[in-house]
Amino acid sequence: MSGKINNSQSYVKYIEVPVPVLGNNIADVERLKAPLLKELKGVDNIFVPTGLAVNLPSKLRKWGNRIKVVLFRDSRGWFVVDLLEPDPDKPLFGLAVDLGTTRIVLRLVNLEISTNISSASCHETAFDNPQVKVAPDVLARIHHAGTEKGRSELQDLVIEGLSNNINILCRKQGVEPKQVVLLTVAGNSAMTHLFLGIESSFLIREPYIPAVNAPEPVTASELGIGINPRGMVYMFPNIGSYFGGDLISGILFAGLNKKENPCIMVDVGTNAEVVVGNRDWLIACAGAAGPALEGGVSDMGMTAKPGVIDTVKIDRETGKVDIHTIDEKSPIGICGSGMIDLAAQLFLSGMVDIRGKFVPSVCGSRYIEVGGEGENRGAFCLVKASESGTGKDILLTQIDMNSLTSSKAAMYSILQVIVEKTAGLEFSELAKFYVAGTFGSFIKPVSAISIGMLPDIPLDRFEVLGNSSLEGASRLLMDPNAFDEIEKIRHGITYIELNVNQEFMNIFSGSKFYPHTDISRFPSVISKC
Protein backbone atom coordinates (compact mmCIF):
# COMPACT_ATOMS: atom_id res chain seq x y z
CA MET A 1 0.00 0.00 0.00
CA SER A 2 2.94 2.36 0.40
CA GLY A 3 4.43 4.24 -2.52
CA LYS A 4 6.03 7.43 -3.65
CA ILE A 5 4.71 10.35 -1.65
CA ASN A 6 3.35 12.98 -3.95
CA ASN A 7 3.36 16.25 -2.06
CA SER A 8 2.84 18.71 -4.88
CA GLN A 9 -0.59 17.88 -6.27
CA SER A 10 -2.35 16.16 -3.45
CA TYR A 11 -4.76 16.70 -0.57
CA VAL A 12 -2.27 15.02 1.76
CA LYS A 13 0.89 16.86 2.72
CA TYR A 14 3.80 15.79 4.90
CA ILE A 15 4.76 18.97 6.70
CA GLU A 16 7.83 19.92 8.70
CA VAL A 17 6.82 22.56 11.25
CA PRO A 18 9.48 25.05 12.42
CA VAL A 19 10.64 24.33 15.98
CA PRO A 20 9.41 27.01 18.41
CA VAL A 21 12.06 29.19 20.06
CA LEU A 22 12.04 31.97 22.64
CA GLY A 23 11.47 35.34 21.03
CA ASN A 24 9.07 33.93 18.49
CA ASN A 25 5.66 33.63 20.08
CA ILE A 26 3.82 32.22 17.09
CA ALA A 27 1.37 29.55 18.22
CA ASP A 28 1.38 25.97 16.96
CA VAL A 29 -1.56 26.44 14.60
CA GLU A 30 -0.06 29.52 13.03
CA ARG A 31 3.41 27.90 12.86
CA LEU A 32 1.82 25.04 10.94
CA LYS A 33 0.14 27.40 8.49
CA ALA A 34 3.35 28.92 7.14
CA PRO A 35 4.85 25.77 5.55
CA LEU A 36 1.37 24.74 4.35
CA LEU A 37 0.91 28.01 2.51
CA LYS A 38 4.31 27.48 0.93
CA GLU A 39 3.04 24.17 -0.44
CA LEU A 40 -0.12 25.77 -1.76
CA LYS A 41 1.43 28.37 -3.99
CA GLY A 42 -0.72 31.41 -4.59
CA VAL A 43 -3.00 30.69 -1.63
CA ASP A 44 -3.03 33.39 1.04
CA ASN A 45 -5.02 31.78 3.82
CA ILE A 46 -5.75 28.31 5.03
CA PHE A 47 -8.49 27.64 7.54
CA VAL A 48 -7.67 25.49 10.56
CA PRO A 49 -10.79 24.57 12.54
CA THR A 50 -10.39 25.25 16.24
CA GLY A 51 -11.17 21.61 17.02
CA LEU A 52 -7.85 20.65 15.43
CA ALA A 53 -5.95 22.88 17.85
CA VAL A 54 -7.13 20.83 20.84
CA ASN A 55 -4.33 18.24 20.78
CA LEU A 56 -1.97 19.86 18.33
CA PRO A 57 0.68 20.90 20.89
CA SER A 58 1.38 17.37 22.13
CA LYS A 59 1.01 15.86 18.65
CA LEU A 60 3.64 18.18 17.19
CA ARG A 61 6.06 17.52 20.02
CA LYS A 62 5.47 13.76 19.98
CA TRP A 63 5.97 13.53 16.24
CA GLY A 64 9.10 15.67 16.20
CA ASN A 65 7.39 18.64 14.55
CA ARG A 66 6.43 16.52 11.54
CA ILE A 67 2.78 16.03 10.71
CA LYS A 68 0.53 14.70 7.97
CA VAL A 69 -2.01 17.28 6.92
CA VAL A 70 -5.20 16.47 5.05
CA LEU A 71 -6.48 19.42 3.04
CA PHE A 72 -9.64 20.14 1.18
CA ARG A 73 -11.47 23.04 -0.40
CA ASP A 74 -14.83 24.72 -0.30
CA SER A 75 -16.14 27.89 -1.91
CA ARG A 76 -13.91 29.96 0.35
CA GLY A 77 -10.69 28.12 -0.35
CA TRP A 78 -8.44 25.64 1.39
CA PHE A 79 -8.95 24.27 4.87
CA VAL A 80 -7.40 21.57 7.03
CA VAL A 81 -9.48 18.41 7.35
CA ASP A 82 -7.32 16.52 9.82
CA LEU A 83 -3.86 16.41 11.35
CA LEU A 84 -2.42 12.92 11.58
CA GLU A 85 0.72 11.00 12.41
CA PRO A 86 3.21 11.28 9.52
CA ASP A 87 3.17 7.54 8.87
CA PRO A 88 3.57 6.68 5.16
CA ASP A 89 2.67 3.06 5.89
CA LYS A 90 -0.87 4.08 6.72
CA PRO A 91 -1.69 6.01 3.57
CA LEU A 92 -4.91 7.95 3.28
CA PHE A 93 -7.62 7.23 0.77
CA GLY A 94 -10.40 8.96 -1.03
CA LEU A 95 -13.55 7.42 -2.38
CA ALA A 96 -15.15 8.43 -5.65
CA VAL A 97 -18.88 7.77 -5.58
CA ASP A 98 -21.26 7.54 -8.53
CA LEU A 99 -24.54 8.09 -6.71
CA GLY A 100 -26.98 6.60 -9.21
CA THR A 101 -30.72 6.37 -8.77
CA THR A 102 -30.54 2.62 -9.30
CA ARG A 103 -26.93 1.71 -8.72
CA ILE A 104 -24.14 3.17 -6.62
CA VAL A 105 -20.52 2.64 -7.60
CA LEU A 106 -17.53 3.24 -5.32
CA ARG A 107 -13.87 3.52 -6.24
CA LEU A 108 -11.09 3.61 -3.66
CA VAL A 109 -8.21 5.96 -4.55
CA ASN A 110 -4.90 6.17 -2.70
CA LEU A 111 -4.38 9.88 -2.05
CA GLU A 112 -0.68 9.53 -1.27
CA ILE A 113 0.73 8.02 -4.43
CA SER A 114 0.68 9.19 -7.99
CA THR A 115 -1.63 6.70 -9.56
CA ASN A 116 -3.71 6.50 -12.68
CA ILE A 117 -7.37 5.77 -12.92
CA SER A 118 -7.08 2.50 -14.80
CA SER A 119 -4.81 0.86 -12.25
CA ALA A 120 -7.00 2.10 -9.45
CA SER A 121 -10.23 0.95 -11.01
CA CYS A 122 -9.89 -2.58 -9.76
CA HIS A 123 -10.61 -1.28 -6.26
CA GLU A 124 -14.25 -0.78 -6.99
CA THR A 125 -17.56 -2.02 -5.77
CA ALA A 126 -21.13 -1.43 -6.84
CA PHE A 127 -24.43 -2.00 -5.11
CA ASP A 128 -28.10 -1.21 -5.64
CA ASN A 129 -29.18 2.13 -4.26
CA PRO A 130 -30.98 0.98 -1.08
CA GLN A 131 -33.59 3.70 -1.65
CA VAL A 132 -35.00 1.37 -4.33
CA LYS A 133 -36.62 -0.39 -1.38
CA VAL A 134 -38.85 2.66 -0.87
CA ALA A 135 -39.36 3.46 -4.54
CA PRO A 136 -37.52 2.59 -7.75
CA ASP A 137 -37.97 5.97 -9.40
CA VAL A 138 -36.91 9.46 -8.50
CA LEU A 139 -40.37 10.99 -8.50
CA ALA A 140 -41.78 8.53 -5.98
CA ARG A 141 -38.75 9.04 -3.74
CA ILE A 142 -39.19 12.78 -3.79
CA HIS A 143 -42.85 12.33 -2.84
CA HIS A 144 -41.79 10.00 -0.05
CA ALA A 145 -39.34 12.64 1.14
CA GLY A 146 -42.20 15.11 1.47
CA THR A 147 -42.35 14.43 5.21
CA GLU A 148 -39.40 14.85 7.55
CA LYS A 149 -39.69 11.18 8.48
CA GLY A 150 -39.67 10.04 4.87
CA ARG A 151 -36.74 12.32 4.11
CA SER A 152 -34.61 10.98 6.92
CA GLU A 153 -35.64 7.40 6.09
CA LEU A 154 -34.35 7.81 2.53
CA GLN A 155 -31.20 9.52 3.73
CA ASP A 156 -30.53 6.83 6.32
CA LEU A 157 -30.97 4.10 3.71
CA VAL A 158 -28.38 5.49 1.33
CA ILE A 159 -25.91 6.54 4.03
CA GLU A 160 -26.10 3.16 5.75
CA GLY A 161 -25.73 1.30 2.45
CA LEU A 162 -22.77 3.47 1.58
CA SER A 163 -21.08 2.91 4.95
CA ASN A 164 -21.55 -0.86 4.71
CA ASN A 165 -20.13 -1.02 1.24
CA ILE A 166 -17.22 1.26 2.10
CA ASN A 167 -16.45 -1.07 4.96
CA ILE A 168 -16.52 -4.14 2.70
CA LEU A 169 -14.43 -2.48 -0.02
CA CYS A 170 -11.86 -1.23 2.50
CA ARG A 171 -11.48 -4.57 4.30
CA LYS A 172 -10.96 -6.27 0.96
CA GLN A 173 -8.09 -3.88 0.24
CA GLY A 174 -6.59 -4.11 3.72
CA VAL A 175 -7.53 -0.53 4.46
CA GLU A 176 -9.19 0.69 7.64
CA PRO A 177 -12.30 2.78 6.92
CA LYS A 178 -10.81 5.58 9.05
CA GLN A 179 -7.97 5.84 6.52
CA VAL A 180 -10.59 7.21 4.15
CA VAL A 181 -10.65 10.98 4.51
CA LEU A 182 -12.37 12.31 1.38
CA LEU A 183 -15.50 11.40 -0.53
CA THR A 184 -16.32 12.93 -3.90
CA VAL A 185 -19.91 12.18 -4.80
CA ALA A 186 -21.52 12.72 -8.18
CA GLY A 187 -25.24 12.20 -8.50
CA ASN A 188 -28.23 13.86 -10.10
CA SER A 189 -29.85 16.77 -8.30
CA ALA A 190 -32.53 14.66 -6.65
CA MET A 191 -30.10 12.00 -5.40
CA THR A 192 -27.80 14.74 -4.10
CA HIS A 193 -30.63 16.39 -2.18
CA LEU A 194 -31.83 13.07 -0.73
CA PHE A 195 -28.26 12.10 0.20
CA LEU A 196 -27.80 15.33 2.15
CA GLY A 197 -31.26 15.12 3.71
CA ILE A 198 -32.31 18.34 2.00
CA GLU A 199 -35.93 19.09 1.06
CA SER A 200 -36.44 18.05 -2.55
CA SER A 201 -40.14 18.73 -3.20
CA PHE A 202 -39.52 21.90 -5.15
CA LEU A 203 -37.18 20.13 -7.57
CA ILE A 204 -40.20 18.66 -9.33
CA ARG A 205 -42.66 21.55 -8.98
CA GLU A 206 -42.66 24.39 -11.43
CA PRO A 207 -40.40 26.39 -11.64
CA TYR A 208 -38.20 23.42 -10.64
CA ILE A 209 -35.85 25.00 -8.11
CA PRO A 210 -33.17 23.06 -6.22
CA ALA A 211 -32.58 23.97 -2.58
CA VAL A 212 -28.92 24.44 -3.37
CA ASN A 213 -26.78 24.38 -6.51
CA ALA A 214 -23.37 23.95 -4.98
CA PRO A 215 -23.60 22.44 -1.51
CA GLU A 216 -20.53 23.16 0.60
CA PRO A 217 -18.62 20.05 1.72
CA VAL A 218 -19.88 18.46 4.93
CA THR A 219 -18.09 16.22 7.40
CA ALA A 220 -18.53 12.47 7.36
CA SER A 221 -19.67 12.60 10.99
CA GLU A 222 -22.37 15.14 10.15
CA LEU A 223 -23.78 12.67 7.61
CA GLY A 224 -23.00 9.62 9.73
CA ILE A 225 -20.75 7.97 7.14
CA GLY A 226 -18.37 5.41 8.61
CA ILE A 227 -15.01 6.84 7.55
CA ASN A 228 -12.69 9.22 9.44
CA PRO A 229 -15.31 11.36 11.24
CA ARG A 230 -13.48 14.53 10.22
CA GLY A 231 -13.39 13.29 6.62
CA MET A 232 -15.04 15.58 4.10
CA VAL A 233 -17.83 14.75 1.70
CA TYR A 234 -17.92 16.78 -1.49
CA MET A 235 -21.02 16.73 -3.69
CA PHE A 236 -20.63 17.73 -7.30
CA PRO A 237 -22.72 20.85 -7.93
CA ASN A 238 -25.85 20.92 -10.06
CA ILE A 239 -26.96 23.70 -12.35
CA GLY A 240 -30.64 22.97 -12.03
CA SER A 241 -33.15 20.35 -10.99
CA TYR A 242 -32.61 18.35 -14.18
CA PHE A 243 -28.91 18.89 -14.71
CA GLY A 244 -27.03 17.42 -11.79
CA GLY A 245 -23.59 16.80 -10.40
CA ASP A 246 -23.24 13.54 -12.31
CA LEU A 247 -23.21 15.56 -15.53
CA ILE A 248 -20.82 18.20 -14.24
CA SER A 249 -18.57 15.32 -13.26
CA GLY A 250 -18.98 13.88 -16.76
CA ILE A 251 -18.10 17.19 -18.41
CA LEU A 252 -14.98 17.35 -16.24
CA PHE A 253 -14.00 13.83 -17.25
CA ALA A 254 -14.70 14.37 -20.96
CA GLY A 255 -12.78 17.63 -20.79
CA LEU A 256 -15.47 19.40 -22.78
CA ASN A 257 -14.46 22.63 -21.09
CA LYS A 258 -10.97 22.39 -22.57
CA LYS A 259 -11.73 21.50 -26.21
CA GLU A 260 -10.88 23.89 -28.98
CA ASN A 261 -13.66 22.74 -31.33
CA PRO A 262 -17.23 22.34 -30.14
CA CYS A 263 -18.14 18.90 -28.83
CA ILE A 264 -21.29 17.45 -27.39
CA MET A 265 -21.91 15.17 -24.43
CA VAL A 266 -25.20 13.34 -24.13
CA ASP A 267 -26.46 11.27 -21.26
CA VAL A 268 -29.19 9.19 -22.84
CA GLY A 269 -31.86 7.81 -20.58
CA THR A 270 -35.41 8.44 -19.43
CA ASN A 271 -34.15 11.97 -19.14
CA ALA A 272 -31.74 13.08 -21.78
CA GLU A 273 -29.18 15.56 -20.61
CA VAL A 274 -27.12 17.32 -23.19
CA VAL A 275 -24.26 19.77 -23.07
CA VAL A 276 -22.54 21.26 -26.07
CA GLY A 277 -19.61 23.64 -26.20
CA ASN A 278 -15.89 24.09 -25.92
CA ARG A 279 -13.34 25.94 -23.76
CA ASP A 280 -15.12 29.23 -24.41
CA TRP A 281 -18.79 28.38 -23.92
CA LEU A 282 -21.08 25.60 -22.75
CA ILE A 283 -24.82 25.25 -23.32
CA ALA A 284 -26.84 22.60 -21.55
CA CYS A 285 -30.38 21.35 -21.48
CA ALA A 286 -32.33 18.38 -20.26
CA GLY A 287 -35.57 16.90 -21.41
CA ALA A 288 -37.78 13.86 -21.00
CA ALA A 289 -36.90 11.30 -23.67
CA GLY A 290 -39.28 8.66 -22.40
CA PRO A 291 -38.67 5.39 -20.62
CA ALA A 292 -38.40 3.46 -23.91
CA LEU A 293 -34.71 4.27 -24.05
CA GLU A 294 -34.00 2.57 -20.76
CA GLY A 295 -35.99 -0.58 -21.46
CA GLY A 296 -38.71 0.43 -19.06
CA VAL A 297 -41.47 0.63 -21.62
CA SER A 298 -43.10 -2.78 -22.03
CA ASP A 299 -43.42 -6.23 -20.58
CA MET A 300 -40.29 -7.33 -22.31
CA GLY A 301 -38.26 -4.19 -21.59
CA MET A 302 -35.70 -4.57 -18.83
CA THR A 303 -32.31 -3.34 -17.72
CA ALA A 304 -29.19 -5.25 -18.66
CA LYS A 305 -28.71 -8.62 -16.97
CA PRO A 306 -28.01 -12.22 -18.11
CA GLY A 307 -30.48 -13.39 -20.76
CA VAL A 308 -31.40 -9.89 -21.87
CA ILE A 309 -31.19 -9.33 -25.63
CA ASP A 310 -28.61 -6.65 -26.39
CA THR A 311 -28.08 -7.12 -30.11
CA VAL A 312 -30.51 -7.83 -32.93
CA LYS A 313 -29.78 -8.43 -36.60
CA ILE A 314 -32.33 -8.98 -39.36
CA ASP A 315 -31.20 -10.27 -42.74
CA ARG A 316 -32.80 -8.04 -45.35
CA GLU A 317 -32.89 -10.83 -47.94
CA THR A 318 -34.19 -13.72 -45.86
CA GLY A 319 -35.85 -11.84 -42.99
CA LYS A 320 -33.93 -14.11 -40.59
CA VAL A 321 -33.65 -12.66 -37.09
CA ASP A 322 -30.40 -13.10 -35.13
CA ILE A 323 -30.23 -12.14 -31.49
CA HIS A 324 -27.49 -12.00 -28.90
CA THR A 325 -28.16 -12.13 -25.17
CA ILE A 326 -26.02 -11.02 -22.24
CA ASP A 327 -23.90 -13.95 -21.04
CA GLU A 328 -25.55 -15.90 -23.91
CA LYS A 329 -28.31 -17.19 -21.66
CA SER A 330 -31.77 -18.03 -22.98
CA PRO A 331 -33.54 -14.78 -23.91
CA ILE A 332 -35.85 -13.32 -21.27
CA GLY A 333 -36.41 -9.75 -22.52
CA ILE A 334 -34.71 -6.85 -24.22
CA CYS A 335 -32.81 -3.86 -22.96
CA GLY A 336 -33.03 -0.29 -24.26
CA SER A 337 -29.99 -0.55 -26.50
CA GLY A 338 -31.26 -3.90 -27.85
CA MET A 339 -34.57 -2.23 -28.59
CA ILE A 340 -32.79 0.53 -30.59
CA ASP A 341 -30.98 -2.22 -32.51
CA LEU A 342 -34.25 -4.01 -33.13
CA ALA A 343 -36.05 -0.86 -34.32
CA ALA A 344 -33.15 -0.02 -36.66
CA GLN A 345 -33.18 -3.50 -38.14
CA LEU A 346 -36.96 -3.48 -38.52
CA PHE A 347 -36.84 -0.14 -40.31
CA LEU A 348 -33.90 -1.01 -42.59
CA SER A 349 -35.53 -4.32 -43.54
CA GLY A 350 -38.81 -2.56 -44.34
CA MET A 351 -40.67 -4.36 -41.54
CA VAL A 352 -41.70 -0.96 -40.13
CA ASP A 353 -42.46 2.03 -42.32
CA ILE A 354 -41.31 5.62 -42.06
CA ARG A 355 -44.07 6.28 -39.51
CA GLY A 356 -42.76 3.45 -37.32
CA LYS A 357 -45.70 1.19 -38.05
CA PHE A 358 -45.34 -2.54 -38.68
CA VAL A 359 -45.72 -3.66 -42.29
CA PRO A 360 -47.41 -7.07 -41.82
CA SER A 361 -46.63 -8.19 -45.37
CA VAL A 362 -42.91 -7.77 -44.83
CA CYS A 363 -42.89 -9.09 -41.25
CA GLY A 364 -44.48 -12.30 -42.39
CA SER A 365 -45.13 -14.93 -39.76
CA ARG A 366 -43.48 -12.81 -37.08
CA TYR A 367 -46.38 -10.38 -37.25
CA ILE A 368 -49.14 -11.31 -34.86
CA GLU A 369 -52.14 -9.48 -33.48
CA VAL A 370 -52.43 -9.03 -29.75
CA GLY A 371 -55.44 -6.76 -29.37
CA GLY A 372 -55.56 -2.98 -29.40
CA GLU A 373 -57.24 -0.64 -31.88
CA GLY A 374 -56.57 -0.37 -35.63
CA GLU A 375 -52.88 -0.02 -36.50
CA ASN A 376 -51.97 -0.50 -32.87
CA ARG A 377 -53.18 -4.08 -32.58
CA GLY A 378 -50.03 -5.63 -34.12
CA ALA A 379 -46.81 -6.97 -32.58
CA PHE A 380 -43.52 -8.36 -33.79
CA CYS A 381 -42.53 -11.68 -32.32
CA LEU A 382 -38.82 -11.46 -31.63
CA VAL A 383 -38.46 -14.80 -29.82
CA LYS A 384 -40.99 -17.58 -29.82
CA ALA A 385 -42.17 -19.00 -26.51
CA SER A 386 -40.49 -22.29 -27.26
CA GLU A 387 -37.09 -20.57 -27.54
CA SER A 388 -37.41 -18.02 -24.75
CA GLY A 389 -36.14 -18.34 -21.22
CA THR A 390 -39.54 -17.34 -19.84
CA GLY A 391 -41.68 -19.82 -21.76
CA LYS A 392 -43.56 -16.88 -23.33
CA ASP A 393 -43.21 -15.02 -26.62
CA ILE A 394 -40.93 -12.03 -26.44
CA LEU A 395 -42.95 -9.42 -28.31
CA LEU A 396 -42.43 -5.88 -29.49
CA THR A 397 -45.94 -4.45 -29.73
CA GLN A 398 -46.95 -1.51 -31.89
CA ILE A 399 -47.59 0.34 -28.63
CA ASP A 400 -43.96 -0.29 -27.62
CA MET A 401 -42.83 0.88 -31.03
CA ASN A 402 -44.89 4.08 -30.75
CA SER A 403 -43.30 4.76 -27.42
CA LEU A 404 -39.84 4.22 -28.85
CA THR A 405 -40.72 6.53 -31.74
CA SER A 406 -41.65 9.31 -29.30
CA SER A 407 -38.50 8.76 -27.32
CA LYS A 408 -36.16 8.81 -30.29
CA ALA A 409 -37.97 11.87 -31.67
CA ALA A 410 -37.61 13.64 -28.34
CA MET A 411 -33.90 12.79 -28.22
CA TYR A 412 -33.23 14.11 -31.71
CA SER A 413 -35.35 17.23 -31.11
CA ILE A 414 -33.44 18.02 -27.94
CA LEU A 415 -30.17 17.71 -29.87
CA GLN A 416 -31.48 19.86 -32.70
CA VAL A 417 -32.72 22.60 -30.36
CA ILE A 418 -29.46 22.84 -28.47
CA VAL A 419 -26.99 22.37 -31.34
CA GLU A 420 -28.72 24.10 -34.23
CA LYS A 421 -31.21 26.50 -32.71
CA THR A 422 -29.27 27.52 -29.62
CA ALA A 423 -25.59 27.08 -30.37
CA GLY A 424 -26.13 27.86 -34.07
CA LEU A 425 -24.00 24.93 -35.24
CA GLU A 426 -24.49 22.17 -37.80
CA PHE A 427 -24.25 18.66 -36.34
CA SER A 428 -21.32 18.10 -38.69
CA GLU A 429 -19.37 20.80 -36.87
CA LEU A 430 -19.26 18.72 -33.69
CA ALA A 431 -15.75 17.36 -33.33
CA LYS A 432 -16.78 14.72 -30.80
CA PHE A 433 -20.05 13.17 -29.68
CA TYR A 434 -19.55 11.83 -26.17
CA VAL A 435 -22.08 9.33 -24.91
CA ALA A 436 -22.25 9.35 -21.12
CA GLY A 437 -24.04 7.24 -18.57
CA THR A 438 -24.28 3.50 -18.09
CA PHE A 439 -27.15 3.08 -20.54
CA GLY A 440 -25.40 5.14 -23.21
CA SER A 441 -22.40 2.86 -23.16
CA PHE A 442 -24.47 0.04 -24.67
CA ILE A 443 -26.02 2.00 -27.54
CA LYS A 444 -24.64 1.29 -31.00
CA PRO A 445 -24.40 4.69 -32.68
CA VAL A 446 -25.02 3.15 -36.10
CA SER A 447 -28.40 1.82 -34.92
CA ALA A 448 -29.31 5.04 -33.15
CA ILE A 449 -28.54 6.95 -36.35
CA SER A 450 -30.60 4.49 -38.42
CA ILE A 451 -33.75 5.29 -36.47
CA GLY A 452 -32.99 9.02 -36.48
CA MET A 453 -32.31 9.26 -32.80
CA LEU A 454 -28.75 10.50 -33.06
CA PRO A 455 -27.49 12.78 -35.84
CA ASP A 456 -25.88 11.31 -38.92
CA ILE A 457 -22.23 12.20 -38.33
CA PRO A 458 -19.15 10.02 -38.93
CA LEU A 459 -19.16 7.05 -36.55
CA ASP A 460 -15.59 7.74 -35.40
CA ARG A 461 -16.73 10.93 -33.73
CA PHE A 462 -18.82 8.97 -31.24
CA GLU A 463 -17.04 8.12 -28.03
CA VAL A 464 -18.49 6.16 -25.17
CA LEU A 465 -17.42 7.60 -21.82
CA GLY A 466 -18.53 4.72 -19.61
CA ASN A 467 -19.31 5.74 -16.05
CA SER A 468 -18.28 9.35 -16.60
CA SER A 469 -19.82 10.38 -13.32
CA LEU A 470 -17.47 8.05 -11.39
CA GLU A 471 -14.52 9.00 -13.57
CA GLY A 472 -15.02 12.71 -12.93
CA ALA A 473 -15.33 12.06 -9.19
CA SER A 474 -12.06 10.08 -9.29
CA ARG A 475 -10.38 12.86 -11.20
CA LEU A 476 -11.19 15.34 -8.42
CA LEU A 477 -9.59 13.00 -5.88
CA MET A 478 -6.39 12.84 -7.87
CA ASP A 479 -6.14 16.47 -8.90
CA PRO A 480 -7.08 19.32 -6.58
CA ASN A 481 -6.94 21.68 -9.55
CA ALA A 482 -10.13 20.05 -10.78
CA PHE A 483 -11.93 22.25 -8.22
CA ASP A 484 -11.30 25.31 -10.32
CA GLU A 485 -12.38 23.46 -13.43
CA ILE A 486 -15.65 22.40 -11.82
CA GLU A 487 -16.35 25.97 -10.75
CA LYS A 488 -15.53 27.22 -14.21
CA ILE A 489 -17.81 24.62 -15.78
CA ARG A 490 -20.62 25.36 -13.34
CA HIS A 491 -20.49 29.11 -13.77
CA GLY A 492 -19.83 28.91 -17.51
CA ILE A 493 -22.84 26.82 -18.47
CA THR A 494 -25.91 28.46 -19.98
CA TYR A 495 -28.88 26.28 -19.18
CA ILE A 496 -31.80 26.19 -21.62
CA GLU A 497 -35.19 25.32 -20.18
CA LEU A 498 -36.85 22.98 -22.68
CA ASN A 499 -40.15 23.02 -20.80
CA VAL A 500 -40.70 26.57 -21.99
CA ASN A 501 -39.14 26.12 -25.43
CA GLN A 502 -41.72 26.46 -28.24
CA GLU A 503 -39.15 25.52 -30.86
CA PHE A 504 -38.82 22.09 -29.32
CA MET A 505 -42.50 21.31 -29.89
CA ASN A 506 -42.30 22.39 -33.54
CA ILE A 507 -39.28 20.23 -34.24
CA PHE A 508 -40.60 17.22 -32.36
CA SER A 509 -43.35 16.39 -34.95
CA GLY A 510 -40.87 16.16 -37.81
CA SER A 511 -38.63 13.89 -35.79
CA LYS A 512 -41.28 11.23 -35.30
CA PHE A 513 -40.60 9.79 -38.74
CA TYR A 514 -37.96 7.19 -39.61
CA PRO A 515 -35.33 8.44 -39.83
CA HIS A 516 -36.83 11.98 -40.18
CA THR A 517 -39.22 14.02 -42.32
CA ASP A 518 -36.20 15.83 -43.67
CA ILE A 519 -34.36 12.84 -45.11
CA SER A 520 -31.43 15.00 -46.24
CA ARG A 521 -30.43 14.95 -42.57
CA PHE A 522 -29.66 11.22 -42.78
CA PRO A 523 -27.72 10.51 -45.99
CA SER A 524 -25.99 7.40 -44.57
CA VAL A 525 -29.34 5.85 -43.63
CA ILE A 526 -31.00 6.62 -46.95
CA SER A 527 -28.10 4.95 -48.75
CA LYS A 528 -28.90 1.72 -46.82
CA CYS A 529 -32.65 1.73 -47.42
For its own copies, the binding residues (CB under 8 A) are: 20-31, 45, 47-51, 53-58, 61, 74-77, 79, 196-199, 201-202, 206-218, 222, 238-241, 243, 495, 497, 499-500
DSSP-derived letter for residue 212 is -
Q: Which is nearer to its own copies, 68 or 151 (CB)?
A: 151
Least spacing, CB of residue 235 vs its own copies, in Å: 8
Distance of alpha carbon 262 from alpha carbon 431, whole angstroms: 6
Strand bridging mode 263-267 / 218-219: unpaired
Q: Which is nearer to its own copies, 247 or 382 (CB)?
A: 247
Closest CA to 74 of 479, 474, 487: 487
DSSP-derived letter for residue 375 is G
Q: Which is nearer to its own copies, 213 or 506 (CB)?
A: 213
Least spacing, CB of residue 401 vs its own copies, in Å: 33
On the 0-12 / 13-18 / 19+ scale of CB atoms within 10 A, 389 is: middle
Q: Which is nearer to its own copies, 128 or 497 (CB)?
A: 497
**How are the residues of the chain apportioned to helix, strand and coil, as percentages rounded to the nearest 5?**
40, 25, 35
Least spacing, CB of residue 263 vs its own copies, in Å: 23
Distance of alpha carbon 420 from alpha carbon 41, whole angstroms: 43
Q: Which is nearer to its own copies, 97 or 409 (CB)?
A: 97
Least spacing, CB of residue 424 vs its own copies, in Å: 20
Distance of alpha carbon 325 from alpha carbon 338, whole angstroms: 9
Cα→Cα distances 189→184, 459, 466, Å: 15, 32, 20
Q: Which is nearer to its own copies, 394 or 493 (CB)?
A: 493
Q: Facing residues of 381 across strands?
A: 395
Least spacing, CB of residue 276 vs its own copies, in Å: 18
Q: Is the peptide bond before 207 cis (omega within 30 degrees of 0)?
A: yes
Least spacing, CB of residue 467 vs its own copies, in Å: 25
Least spacing, CB of residue 421 vs its own copies, in Å: 16
Q: Which is nearer to its own copies, 217 or 269 (CB)?
A: 217
Least spacing, CB of residue 494 vs its own copies, in Å: 11
Q: Which is nearer to its own copies, 54 or 459 (CB)?
A: 54
Q: Per this entry, what is the length of the chain? A: 529
Distance of alpha carbon 273 from alpha carbon 251, whole angstroms: 11
Whether residue 284 contacts residue 273, with contact meaning beta carbons closer than 8 Å, is answered with yes
